[in-house]
Structure 1
């Protein structure tokens, strides 16, 4: 039952008045956001990372840290530039993509050490040296110090950018510059002015600041622009909405990168973890120790090569520290690393615009206003409770989709509407004297849930010749099987199979090149070199067979079809890289080695085997790790060169029966006798092996081949190979 018309009119007027007051308050204030909103979002941030719904850490970022141990090596409390020159020389040999120093070398030091440090920067070629400014909210006259490198490079390191909308940028003056000797050798520069929020937490970071009429980029922005080959002066700014990095011919971007910013040009920092677990950390002292070991230099090259290195001083009493949304007392180099990670992963947090927030509050007020029109109070209570819960769910759902919702402001505004209506009802209906107290006690917003919980990046077309191991797998007779299954069941089975096989390939250091229906093409040893890529591929192949047996057991219980997998593996030189057109390309491999691996997968049909590898792969396997037997010498279709092939039938550490040991010995001796043209003896060995494994296809093939041989007509260069007429 609805209330009387007089009472409905009162509710409507009260409802409209409350909403207009709230929106008017926000318009006068200039924003709906408060520090309480961000403090709640801090908890969301933690919970999102815990649940794996937050920013992902790029595998290409790492810290190189100057710790207290380094100062022990220096033997004094000042940073030793000669020591750092040696660190730079090591880095130059490890070939990182970029090295960002979070250190300003402003003053001259020992002349000889300064020269060494400058030479090491020139040799490194990827060093970025920062600048710091005094920051203000209002325009300031700006001029570089006369005679500095930066005055000469002003047109290159700063720019007049295209702007839209009204902004409140930060203005910089009184720069703290790098020593000119070092600045000349740096690849680039940017500012490192991390700016904390009013409550002292480092949540936002200005991507650009203004120097007079020109803009100056932050270090993460500068490094990323150089990486993707986009000049700074092509960046567009729409204040309060986005900073756009355009994609054009000559850059490494397929499409524009749009980074949400506020009216100050700040990005919400997408921290991917706490200081302890965001990105790998290496102390400079440890780097020097490891590099001194020649056996470790290859691992270091693999670890540092192509990565973005954030080099900073985290020693006690020297490191700049601050509070982040995730924890207190964090070195502020984490801010720069997190922003650069956001660029590399193309993942930043957007923010709800004010007008959308107004819409949520208006919608809430209409809903509870309608509920207040009913005589039964429980309808109003339930509507309010559900609405407040929906606001919490909306805020969390939006955060996991990298959109920031001002939950505290919206909840407070909705609470004002809700309580205001309650007060109006109380004043209008004296009989409901306890109504307002009940409303306050029942509809305070729910406690905010805590939260917390990381790509390829070779975007240039082309490839390089590399030695790697290629694996092809295919399900035996799957085409026939698929014709007997309904499409949903087929898709379910195939998804389960491919998911498990993909996991195994990745866990063993491989990459999935592509899915070929029910088949998989994978590579080991690219894009990062691996000294044991052959072992990785064979280990993955055996694990795939074990996993398939487990899947088959489960499918049998469910009354589903059983399948078998065949795998071919070959190691050789191939061309690996991004291949395709300027618009569409994939990271893949091509070459004869790829074709041979594919052929070997099919060769399993002839021998009724599961895993066949080439002689090249066999030669690279670690001894006494896998159980392998020589299988045959073949010439695949389209190739004249013979290929010795082997069957991998297990791990050396896993015991097999004495009968199997004897079988494999007999086959191997028979195969060797065959190659030695001792055909009668070879047939005897194969027949003895057949008594142990009566249906063994390799033995049957070899016996049949011996029976067909015309020994007296064998050419002098006979190599024992057999030509296959199928792919």
Structure 2
């Protein structure tokens, strides 16, 4: 028999705030009650009733809530027996954990209708049946040694509330509304918590922040440092794993932060994938700026799909360089109109560049009428020596076709010499802060240029070094030229001439 003072509309009443007034029970009921409990509540900002206000203050006097007053009456205790020890409310066998605002998180035992309820009309009719000597529809024994909470279920009386179970399917007759819970049943849940000492125990705020921070940073690190498909997979399974973990510990009345974790994880994903997209886009733009005109379309697409393979920052690598220079072009250009010579030179370059691309080479630069090409950079290629020799042979054969076409229209014929060398080279971006280009440097690069200049002296078209010869996988027709000491080198170098006019030894297949 615990009386309470009327209904209270939902509000956000601060804990232990001095209330300006209260509604007393009717005199006849209040005088015979074992105690009086308040029914004030605090609703969360998003609407649900998740926390109980076990103590309230009016005129410097403490008033227990209805469930706490019932728990005190069940133990034959008074309000004066209630004390707070740290963050725990103690009242006899009751040990209720309080949050920082003195509120008690409610452990709901189930959706609306989890506790047995009876219509007052049925009770009234059962009492009439007893007075008439017939068997009642509701046996009075069902209420023996029980705590009974009386409340209303009519929606118009504003005593139904949203709870964490409001999304669960429930019968409107049980829950007093579609998914909402009667105020009396909320009080029943709180009373059950107090008597059984089973409470919803949120993880401490400091630990919650630590958990969310570590999880968010861990997800961000996975996105930034792991491969894309791995980080995407981790991101996809993170949410169900964490929500499953939250549900698992919730069975033991432990509440871990869910919304902060979801927000933190989403922020990590947005920042991580956004940064990756920006970095990848910047890398692709850099590659496009550097290589779109200097490598074949296939090599360019490979670079876009795997930018890190190019090692643009600079690295030492075994590669092959090819230098091709026109003979006597400077003298020839002095006797012809510059427009005609430039047009013919551009036609020659277009054909030669097409061949370099076909053999997966990179056009490093044009210096006057010279072409410098690299093989095995920016993408590593184990057949770089074969591709360079095959490219040189194809260039010479294409030049024969060009000369035939030029001769037919009265244009002068052109002839070129090609020097090829292989070995350790430094490849990467070279230049100033404002202008840079991807190139190769080193003694082996210089040797390749020197070999091209020897073509005129040895009256041959293609000269390769012993270094390149030792890396070849295919068979070509060669002529030994002996050893030569080139400018800038102390040791002599064995060189060979490629007999490109012979059919023996076809060049390596193009890409």
Q: Give the TM-score normalised by structure 1.
A: 0.34
Larger radius of gyration: 2
Name the TM-score, length of structure 2 as normaliser. Answer: 0.46
